[in-house]
Structure 1
Amino acid sequence: MLAVRPHLLGALLCGVLVSLSFDPLALPYVAIAGVAGFFVLAHKLANLVLTWRQVTMIGVAFGLGFMAPLIWWMNAVSHGAYLALVLVQALYFAPVLMGLRVVAWQPWWPVAMPLVWVLGESVRSAVPFSGFPWGRLAHITIDTPLDGYVRWVGQPMTSFIVALLAAGLAWFVVRPRERVRLVLAGAIATFVVGAVLPVGLAGGERGESATAEIALVQGNIPGDFLTWQPGDIFKLHAAQTDKLVERVASSQQPRPDLVLWPENATDVDPFHDAPQAERIESLAAKLGAPILVGGLFDGPTVNTAYNAGVVWTAAGPEGRYVKRKVVPYGEYVPGRLILGPLVPKFDRFIPRDMVPGDQPNVLSAGGVTIGDTICWDIAFDGLLREAVAGGAQVIVVQTSNASFTGTAQPEQQFKISRLRAIETGRWVLIPSTNGISAIVDSTGRVVARAPMHEPALLSAAVPLAAGPTVGVRIGHWLQYALLLGAVVAIGIGWRRW
């Protein structure tokens, strides 16, 4: 144990460094140094005789240093949920370190190690359940010259590029006596890949054939999380939409083609509540525009529900998208029959299990084709690719971060949404119950942002994009190539080892 203690500490510190590139601190490029340190540590460990338990401990130490600060916001749900999620996520880095240690025996390890990193990132983003695609290296590129890559190669390859920069830094540490010309060549290549090339790539705009006036409603929440009565949040969003009606009637702003409400704007099902349905239809009639209503709708049984966005017009509902990536232990409880008696809080805070949808996330409303995502749907590559393939002209992120008020979670999700704008070449519209509500253009620039924790209205003439970006078209194929390369690298490294 004493022999590995310095490595445990080093791994922990490297993980912390990686976390510093994410909100709340959001220090640019620091994550590259943290990943580089992890690669150097893996290279060193490859020459030591260690048990699998010791390697596991070191990998988990890195994961704890990375994940514990990154998802500190989970404490807002419960301390137990935070500790459980941190531990589960930290465990992923044990096999990642084992893979890094194996490929370190190859002369081309500075390429093999980034491949292994992306393999670990991809697995963590997919399993268990729907995965946890938080903390990807691609996410730290927003507001840096590197963010242009996502438009051309997608997020997995962008993560690889960031890890490749880290591997280049690690190579300088591991091989300090290489010839000066190689060092200079590496420095020049790093500068071109990391600073010069992405600037040119970021300029590729998508074709925009028309515009639509789209309004966003942020109604706020009536007090602390879950202290309100059913229907209270609906009343706030309806009242704020009344103000939108007044502004349009007085020519203070243009009449919208479409109005967006956030996730959970109502927790009373308007399909089964006639007064609420009539209220929505009246607002739509006064505005002359459909409203995308986010809410909780009754499921197929009394113990289930749908988290959905419904296009509601003056004549009634027309189309619906049901959230596909529901949150385990946040929106439904796997193993409820066993865990319910052990953790009574589940039945109190999650009385009904959300049922995931199985239909495409593309809706038509007010002459606009919407790619609808609900909250952390936005973190999943496949849903964005599906929306663009279905003809989505804009991306909508209906969200409610009310349970994470005062934490870094809303800012982390907001940056993921902004990166999606660059990747898809589409404007991203984010209606939230109490923030962050915003309008983001196709370069990731924030056009408008509402104040947090108060009612607000946003509106803009939004260009409607057409056709996929290169990154959307080939990003998943590049990911498959990276995963195949990682498996091959590990296989070759294992034989050498």
Structure 2
Amino acid sequence: MERLKALGRILPRLIVAVGAGALLGLAFEPHDHPWLAFLAVPLLLAALNGVSMKAGFLIGSGFGITYYAVLVPWLSIIGGDAAIALAILEGLFYGVFGMFASQALKHKLWILWVPCLWVATEFATASVPFGGFPWGRLAWAFADSPLGKLASLVGIPGLSFAVALIGVLLYAVLRRKSGLGLRAVALVGAIAIFGGASLISLSTEGNGKDVTAAMVQGNVPGKGLEFLGRARTVTRNHLTATLDLQKQVEAGTQLKPDVVIWPENSTDIDPYKDAETKQDIEEAVKAVNVPILVGAVLEGPGPNERQTTGIVWDPVKGAGQVYAKRHPVPFGEYIPFRDQLLPYIKRLEMVGRQTAPGKTPGVLPINGVTYGDVICFEVAYDGVVADVMKGGAQVLVVQTNNATYGGTGQPEQQFAITRMRAIETGRTVLIASTSGISGVIQPDGKVEHKSSQFVPDVYVAQVPVRDAKTLATTLGGWPQWILTGLGIMGAVLALFARRQRRDGPETPPASTPSREKVPA
């Protein structure tokens, strides 16, 4: 009976948390209502305020599972069970957040500890298991907001902290326990963060050198999983689009590019071992007479393995530098515990050979310009992007294949993530996709070109070559490590304070004053 009463007390809070999770999911593309984050965070904290750790875990889990269910429904293309499993897995991280945040809210420094705990939670989701899934970070929703400029100073983790902090400050304004002074300070603090971000100026000036690049979106014959197995058609589509580009150059209606970029999976047949595929690539390269960065799937390096790569194919030297994707997608490009799972989950056979990760960053010098190549989902991983920047990338390239998820909102979400990377690194980003979204993003995050989906698209852009580093690039991972460390410290202090409250020293009962009258 007591448990039912306890559940009855928690249920309204759980409903509020589920609603907050749904609101936060709607903050991101394709819905694109980032201001909802500033409702979602205070609502979650209101639901967590004053509850036990067990209740905090339940409330946080309800929030997180709903959040991811709204954020990544596109995974249902693979299977509804996969989408549910991912939502539950990622949601449980927010259950841990709720467990600790419920206690941190009772600490006098809760305004600091709670947003730091949020960053620690995002760090965890982006790291484990199997390399993590960093898709749900608050920062990704703010490419069009003045707040997004903060990423150039403190990186993606620092921007997530700022968003969470504003949410916490707004909660402090509305919290019944807050005094007038705290409410005033919290309100001024939230406004100051917005105002300070608005004053940040993002430079787009290069080092005096420009490069002309062509992004080729050849399109694919079908949507979803239908296009798989039609590799030769996909390669021919990109060949045809490149030949058409050259005709425009010869006619004087298009600038001659210095480099041409084909997307991930522009050939799924190893051009080193298939003469027809190699011939198609070389025909395109000789026609434009400039290097083409080809997205190719190569056989090996081991038996029953493959690698997703970007190959610099030169018109004179032929195939040259190769970047192999370092962060393949679990259950999409390789199967963890393959031997144990395949007998029970036959659908995993669609993955085919295991994708072996590359070992070196995608730093590709081409005709005097250093390109930083990342492939598809890698753009969401801090370490992959940081490594190409450390290698001296002057222009970023994202080779991607979103055909499986076309029309689901996933391409829009990835494009928004890519915009935030442009702001963070201060680099132009050139995106080539098989079926969309391809485009060009300027160093300040502004969109120069954004293709439609499932149509051929060729875009030629003249972009600045940049050497200057943003503060975020210089700081690297330090903001994330510091904020995560503070979040862990806050959790420890909150637990210590909880133990003190629970196990505090017993005080002797106060003596009862005598009711006898004192004689005169």
User: Partners in 1 of 2:186 and 2:40 — Cα distance?
Assistant: 19
What secondary structure, in the 3-state scheme, does the structure 2 residue paired with 1:150 have? helix
Query: Which of 14, 17, 21 is the aligned partner of 1:15?
Result: 21
Amino acid at match of 2:46: V
Which among 13, 20, 25 is matched to residue 31 of structure 2?
Answer: 25
Q: 2:325 aligns with which of 323, 331, 356?
A: 323
Shift of 1:479: 1.3
Amino acid in structure 1 at the alignment position of 2:334: Y
Q: Residues 474-493 of structure 1: matches in 2 within 5 Å?
A: 474-493=475-494
Match of 2:70 in 1: 69
CA–CA separation in structure 2 for the residues paired with 1:207 and 1:103: 46
Give the counterpart letter for 1:332 in structure 2: Y
Contact between 2:235 and 2:280, CA under 8 Å: does it hold in 1? no
* Deviations 1:242-291 (CA, angstroms, capped at 9, x unpaired): 11111111111111100000010001110111232233223222212100
Find the residue that maps to 1:65 and give its secondary structure: helix
Is 2:47–2:59's contact at 8 Å kept on the other side of the alignment? no
Question: Counterpart in 1 of 2:293?
Answer: 292
**Structure 1 alignment gaps of length 5 or more:** none
Q: Is 1:214 paired with 2:213?
A: yes
Write the distance in 2 (CA, Å) between the matches of 1:89 and 1:320: 34
What one-letter code is carried by the residue in structure 1 that aligns with 2:338? Answer: R
Q: Which runs of 5 or more residues in structure 2 are unaligned?
A: 1-6, 499-520
1:101–1:468: structure 2 CA closer, same or farther, 3 Å change rule? same
Residue 207 (structure 1) shift: 4.4
Distance across 2 between alignment mates of 1:320 and 1:51? 50
| Residue matched to 2:122 | 121
Q: Which residue of 1 aligns with 2:336?
A: 334
Paired with 2:231 and 2:210, the residues of 1 have a C-alpha distance of: 37
Deviations 1:183-223 (A, max 9, x none): 334323211212x2112224344643310110010000012
Q: Check conservation: 1:151, 1:202, Cα contact below 8 A.
A: no
Matches within 5 A, 1:71-470: 71-175=72-176, 178-179=179-180, 182-194=182-194, 196-205=195-204, 207-224=206-223, 225-227=225-227, 228-314=229-315, 315-347=317-349, 349-470=350-471
Q: Is the 8 A contact 2:77 2:404 kept in 1?
A: yes
State the alpha-carbon separation in 2 of the partners of residues 51 and 103 from structure 1.
10
- Distance, in Å, in 2 between the alignment partners of 1:78 and 1:182 is 48
Contact 2:90 2:125 in 1 (8 A): yes
**SS across alignment from 2:331:** coil
How far is the alpha carbon of 1:23 from its aligned partner?
A: 1.7
Q: Secondary structure at the match of 1:226?
A: helix
1:137-160 Cα offsets, whole Å, 9 max, x none, are 111111011011000111101110
CA distance in 1, matches of 2:96, 2:247: 58
TM-score w.r.t. the length of structure 1 is: 0.95
* 1:262–1:432 Cα contact (<8 Å) kept: yes
The DSSP-based 3-state class of the residue aligned with 1:127 is coil
Per-residue deviation, 1:63: 1.0
Change in Cα spacing, 1:216 to 1:177, as seen in structure 2 (3 Å) is closer
Mark the CA change 1:398 to 1:285 in structure 2 (over 3 Å): closer, same or farther: same
| Contact residue 439 and residue 447 of structure 1 kept, 8 A | yes
Which residue matches 1:6? 12
Is contact 2:172-2:178 (8 Å) kept? no
Question: What is the identity, as a one-letter code, of the residue corresponding to 2:375?
Answer: I
> Deviations along 1:288-343, whole A, 9 cap, x unmatched?
21000012111123411101111011221110111111100011111111111111
Alignment-mate amino acid for residue 322 of structure 2? R
Distance 1:467 1:67 in 2: 36
Task: Tell me which moved more, 255-264 or 315-324.
Answer: 315-324
CA distance, structure 2, for counterparts of residue 70 and residue 36 of structure 1: 19
| Whole-angstrom distance in 2 between the partners of 1:186 and 1:80 | 42
Structure 2: which amino acid aligns with 1:219?
G
The residue type equivalent to 2:300 in the other structure is G
TM-score normalised by length of structure 2:
0.91
Q: In angstroms, what is the RMSD of aligned CA positions?
A: 1.5
2:59 counterpart residue number: 58
The one-letter amino acid paired with 2:392 is G
| Structure 1 pair 233–302 and aligned structure 2 pair: CA distance change class (3 A) | farther
Distance 1:183 1:103 in 2: 19
Contact 1:290–1:313, Cα closer than 8 Å, also in 2: yes
Change (3 A) 1:299 1:320: same
Deviation at 1:176, TM superposition (A): 5.7
The alpha-carbon deviation at position 14 of structure 1 amounts to 1.0
| Aligned position for 2:516 | none
- Contact 2:307 2:355 (C-alpha < 8 Å) held by counterparts: yes
Deviation at 1:432, TM superposition (A): 0.4
Query: Quick check: 1:211–1:463 contact (8 Å CA) kept in 2?
Result: yes
Distance 1:486 1:57 in 2: 20
Q: Which moved more, 1:439-448 or 1:56-65?
A: 56-65
Secondary structure of the structure 1 residue equivalent to 2:433:
coil
Work out the CA distance in 2 between the residues paired with 1:86 and 1:10: 18
d(CA) in 2 for partners of 1:288, 1:97: 58
Given the superposition, is the C-alpha separation of residues 359 and 475 from structure 1 closer, same or farther in structure 2, using an over 3 Å criterion? closer
**Matches of 1:98 and 1:479, distance apart in 2:** 21
Using the alignment, how far apart are the partners of 2:466 and 2:404 within structure 1?
33
Code of the aligned partner of 1:164: L
Q: Is the 8 A contact 2:170 2:186 kept in 1?
A: no
**Residues of 2 paired with 1:450 and 1:57: CA distance?**
42
Contact 1:152 1:201 in 2 (8 A): no
Cα distance in 2 for partners of 1:210, 1:88 equals 47
> Which has the larger displacement, 353-362 or 221-230?
221-230
Partner SS, residue 414 of structure 1 = helix
Q: Alignment length, in residue pairs?
A: 489
Question: 1:201 is paired with a residue of what secondary structure?
Answer: coil
* Cα-to-partner distance string for 1:440-465 (whole Å, 9 max, x where unaligned): 11111111122221111001111011
Range with greater deviation from structure 2 (127-136 or 74-83): 74-83
